[in-house]
Amino acid sequence: MDDAMLPDPVARGTVTRRELLEAGWKIGGGLLAVAAAWTSWEALRPLADVSGGGVLALKPASSYTEGTATFVREGRLYVTRAGGALHALAQKCPHLGCAVPFCAASGRFECPCHGSHYDLAGEWLAGPAPRGMDRHPLQVIDGRVHVNTTVLELGPPLGTDRVRLPTREGGCAPPAP
Amino acid sequence: MPMSRRRPWRVRLRESAVWRSIVRTPPLDSPRGRALRSFGNVFLHLYPVRVPRAVLAFRSTFRLGFIATVLFAILAITGTYLMFFYTPAVTMAYGDMQQLRTRIGFGQLIRNVHRWGAHLMVLVVVLHLVRVFVHGAYKPPRQFNWVIGVGLLLVTLAWSFTGYLLPWDQLAYWAVTVGSDLVHYAPVVGGPLRDFLLGGSTIGQAALLRFYVIHVAVLTIAFLLLMAVHLWRVRKDGLAAGDPPHAHDVTARAADDARIAAIAGAALDIAEPPPTVVTGDGATVARPVPRVLGVVPPDPLSRAARPPDDEVFSWPHLIVRHQVVALATCALVLALGIAFEAPLRDLANPNLTPEPAKAPWYFVGLQELLAHFDPLVAGVLAPAVLVGALVMLPYVDRNPSRRPRDRRLALAIFALLFGALVVLTVIGAFFRGPGWAFVLPWDALYFEP
Ligand code: HEM
Ligand code: FES
């Protein structure tokens, strides 16, 4: 039979040895790349954060009075009381991660990096942050405040104003442009 | 033998068998000898034997790529020195930086030179990019070398950024906190990617070690690989400034392309009868034909029709000019290192953000943008689009002309974008104070290099 009459290998359902080897190289190379990526990821992915996780048993609830923010170093968080309720607010700014200090003059959290402001309940007031301050679940057990630092809840969306707080003059970091 | 007849020891040394086995110095009195000078020396081999005379002009490249290369060498040397005294551990790093200043001879000077050299390298690489753009040197056949160049730019920025964390002071800690938190606005992959880079959700020991390894090993390897291709391509294609005048001319280009295709085709044509050679004893034998294992167009496009009479020898003409530029670069960073101290603030404190916390200056434009736009737009999309546009530029801009008056639109767009970047950077660096409030630099300057 004339060569030209042969159906092409794919149509015949057969492949030549060369084609098989070529495909084999490519598949093998691909598998190798996948294996390399997977092993690197397994080796280099962050280990579970062991430090700071757990439930912190803090002071009696009555010692956190209205309008105050108390920094808890072990948890890098603030315990605040605003509108009667207690909050455990993460110190890390939800914008770009700066440590947000409490400004006693204004009674607000004012981030020094890009001027995001939050009220005592961690609700967003001003600046480029995408949401209010992130927070940890807080429970009062036998009168004492317990904060679970293994769980981090995202802050309330912009415009949330559940806790109405009086505005004060003064400030530490001017609000963002 | 009388003393007077003895030749000077330097001459005798040069003529000794040992010396000649090390340095192959051909006589320089013939073109062949001068060419051998380049062929026979691995370092000079980086240069072609001959270059178009136009390349000698300073404004052909402003030597910016070369200066970047020299700065790399300076950084590699000073960086190696620093590695002897630096431990990438949060308990040690800051103390090591202090010791460089107080206990180690010239330690602070080396650190200063490394720091100012790094800043200068970012600046010079960006200017090199601008130069290549303005000259239109990214146009065929150099499109892909531009892409390699974008890779080198990213490596340079990553180098500076990872190095920024290493002193583990307040400046380092917070600049890198702000910088790396940007990543995490990228949809879906952002969070895991940032944690992967930092080895955790906050900047701690894992992050310091990772940044160190990336800084000294990963980026160095990536840089050397990219540079090998970058320089090799410059060597093969020649510099744009040396292209024959018709390189701007589309029809002549097409003819060139056809020639190249023909040459490449001929290289494959092994059926052609081999030429003969005459051996020592007068017999005519077939010249052994090298086997063809791949296609190598023997002559790059840009060289095809270059008139031979405007060429000069690289040695000494170009190489001496480069040596002068290299020395001037060394002198500049040394002077900077003597005049200005690299900053070292207080030990990094994760609970206290200094005011204001600024990213390193080359990212401060981005930070300024962040104050006006959503982080996803300003922190992720804007840089991604910028890098994407740079990579695609040589393939999108199909205008073959390199003459400024034929490229008004391209130049205008570039000037607009680059101008915006400069303005944002200047505002962010000099006109922003605590809480990112607007300040006038002559009232209070919040800029830390
Ligand atoms: C670490 C960074 C870089 C180094 C060390 C470097 C080095 C060099 C050197 C030594 C040259 C020879 C010409 C000269 O001295 O200017 C060159 C040419 C070139 N570079 Fe770079 N480069 C870098 C980054 C870049 C970047 C960011 C781009 C553009 C995106 C780029 C694109 C080019 C192109 C297209 C040429 C050929 C220019 C011509 O033919 O006139 N390079 N580079
Ligand atoms: S990090 Fe707090 S406002 Fe940007």
Where are the domains positioned within chain A? Answer: 3-44, 55-148
Q: Which letter does DSSP use for residue A108 in this model?
A: E
From first to last of its 449 residues, what are the pLDDT tens digits of chain B? 455 567 889 888 888 899 888 887 777 777 777 777 777 788 888 888 888 888 888 999 999 999 999 999 999 999 999 999 999 999 999 999 999 999 999 999 999 999 999 999 999 999 999 999 999 999 988 999 999 999 999 999 999 999 999 999 998 998 888 888 888 888 888 888 888 888 887 888 999 999 999 999 999 999 999 999 999 999 888 888 888 765 555 555 566 666 666 655 554 444 444 567 667 677 777 665 555 454 444 444 444 444 445 788 887 889 999 999 999 999 999 999 999 999 998 899 888 888 777 888 898 888 888 888 887 888 889 999 999 999 999 999 998 888 888 899 999 999 999 999 999 999 999 998 877 888 888 888 888 77
CA distance B62 to B331: 18
d(Cα A156, Cα A131) in Å, to the nearest integer?
6
Q: Do B370 and A73 touch (CB under 8 A)?
A: no
More confident residue, B306 or A138: A138
Q: What's the pLDDT tens digit per position in A79-94? A: 999 888 899 999 999 9
B274 touches chain A (CB under 8 A): no
CB contact under 8 A, A99 and B351: yes
Candidate of B128, B226, B323, B329 to mutate for ligand 1, largest count of ligand atoms within 8 Å of Cβ: B128
The pTM (predicted TM-score) of the whole model is 0.81
Q: A–B: how many Cβ contacts below 8 A?
A: 96
Measured CA distances, B376 to A126, B1, B181, B372, B380 (Å): 18, 85, 11, 12, 5
CA neighbor of B147 nearest in space, from B363, B139, B69: B139
Q: What is the DSSP string of B370-392?
A: HTTS-HIIIIIIHHHHHHHHHHH
Look up tokens 């062929």; give the residue.
B39
Distance CA B193, CA B188 (A): 9
Is the Cβ of B189 closer than 8 Å to some Cβ of chain A?
no
Q: Which ligand is nearest to the CA of A126?
A: 2
pLDDT value, residue B137: 93
Q: Is A129 in the pocket of ligand 2 (CB under 6 A)?
A: yes
Q: Is the CB of B38 under 6 A from ligand 1?
A: no
Q: Where are the beta strands (DSSP E) in B17-130?
A: 50-52
Which residue from B198, B210, B438 is facing A177, i.e. has the nearest CB? B438
Closest CA to A176 of B351, B269, B369: B369
Answer yes or no: is the C-beta of B156 below 6 A from any ligand 1 atom. yes
Q: How far apart are CA B65 and CA B243, in angstroms?
A: 18
Strand order in the sheet with A108-110: A102-103, A108-110, A117-118, A124-126
Contacts of residues B105-112 at CB distance under 8 Å and 24 or more positions apart, as own/partner, are B108/B341, B108/B342, B109/B337, B109/B338, B110/B78, B110/B81, B110/B82, B110/B337, B111/B78, B111/B82, B111/B342, B112/B336, B112/B337, B112/B338, B112/B340, B112/B341, B112/B342
Closest CA to B94 of B38, B172, B187: B172
Q: Token pair for residue B247?
A: 């390189």
Provide the pLDDT for residue B1: 47
Q: What is the pLDDT of residue B2?
A: 53
Q: Which pLDDT score, from 0 to 100, does residue B253 have? A: 59
Cis peptide leading into residue B290 (ω within 30°): no
Phi and psi torsions of B236, nearest 5°: -75, -40
Q: Report CA(B184)–ligand 2 centroid distance (Å).
A: 14
Rounded to whole angstroms, how far apart are CA atoms B426 and B127?
16
Burial A25-59, CB ≥16 within 10 A → b, else e: eeeeeeeeeeeeeeeeeeeeebeeeeeeeebbebe
Q: Does the distance separating the beta carbons of B370 and A173 come in below 8 Å?
A: no
Percent of chain A with pLDDT over 70: 83
The C-alpha atoms of residue A85 and residue A163 are separated, in whole angstroms, by 9
The domains of chain B, with CATH numbers, are 52-241+310-429 (1.20.810.10)
Task: Indicate left, alpha or beta for A140 from its phi (over 0: left) and psi (-120 to 50: alpha).
Answer: beta
Place of tokens 């040992």: B18
Residue scoring higher pLDDT (B84 or A114): B84
- Residue B39 DSSP SS3: helix
Contact (Cβ atoms closer than 8 angstroms) between residue B107 and residue B100 = yes
- With an 8 Å Cβ cutoff, is B33 touching chain A? no
B350 contacts on A by Cβ (under 8 Å): 76, 99
What's the pLDDT band for A147 if we cut at 50, 70, 90? Answer: very high
Q: Which two tokens stand for residue B107?
A: 């330690």
What is the least distance, in Å, from the CA of A41 to any CA of chain B?
Answer: 8
The pairing of beta strand A77-82 with beta strand A85-90: antiparallel
Whether the complex's predicted ipTM surpasses the cut of 0.85: no
Ligand 1 atom nearest the C-alpha of B64 is: 16
Query: What spacing in Å lies between the alpha carbon of B173 and ligand 2's midpoint?
Result: 15
Residues 58-117 of A with CB under 8 A from B: 71, 73, 76, 91-92, 95-101, 110-115
Dist CA B407 CA B400 (whole Å)? 9
Say if CB A140 and CB A86 are below 8 A apart.
yes
> Which pLDDT does position A5 carry in this prediction?
55
Q: How far is A76 from chain B (nearest CA, A)?
A: 7
B64 lines ligand 1 (CB under 6 A): yes
Regarding the beta carbon of B178 and ligand 1, being less than 6 Å apart is answered no
Q: Which residue would you say has higher pLDDT here, B74 or A66?
A: B74
- Fold (topology level) of A55-148: Rieske Iron-sulfur Protein (2.102.10)
What's the CA gap between A152 and A122, in Å, rounded?
A: 14
d(CA A110, CA B36): 69
Asked if A110 contacts A171 with a C-beta cutoff of 8 angstroms, the reply is yes
Conformation bin of residue A52: beta by default, left when phi > 0, alpha when psi is -120 to 50: left
Query: Which ligand lies nearest the alpha carbon of A130?
Result: 2
Counting DSSP H helices and E strands in chain B, the numbers are 17, 4
How far is the alpha carbon of A129 from chain B, nearest alpha carbon, in Å? 8
Cβ–ligand 1 distance for B118 under 6 Å, the answer no
For ligand 2, atom 1: residue with the closest CA: A96
A44 contacts chain B (CB < 8 A): yes
* pLDDT of B180: 85
Nearest CA to ligand 1 atom 43: B65
CB–CB of A113 and B178 under 8 A? yes
Distances (CA, A) of A167 to A163, B83, B395: 12, 53, 57
A99 to B178: CB separation less than 8 angstroms, yes or no: no
User: What integer pLDDT is reported at residue B338 of this predicted model?
Assistant: 96
Ligand nearest to the CA of B179: 2
What are the E-state strand segments in B232-386? 276-278, 284-286, 311-313
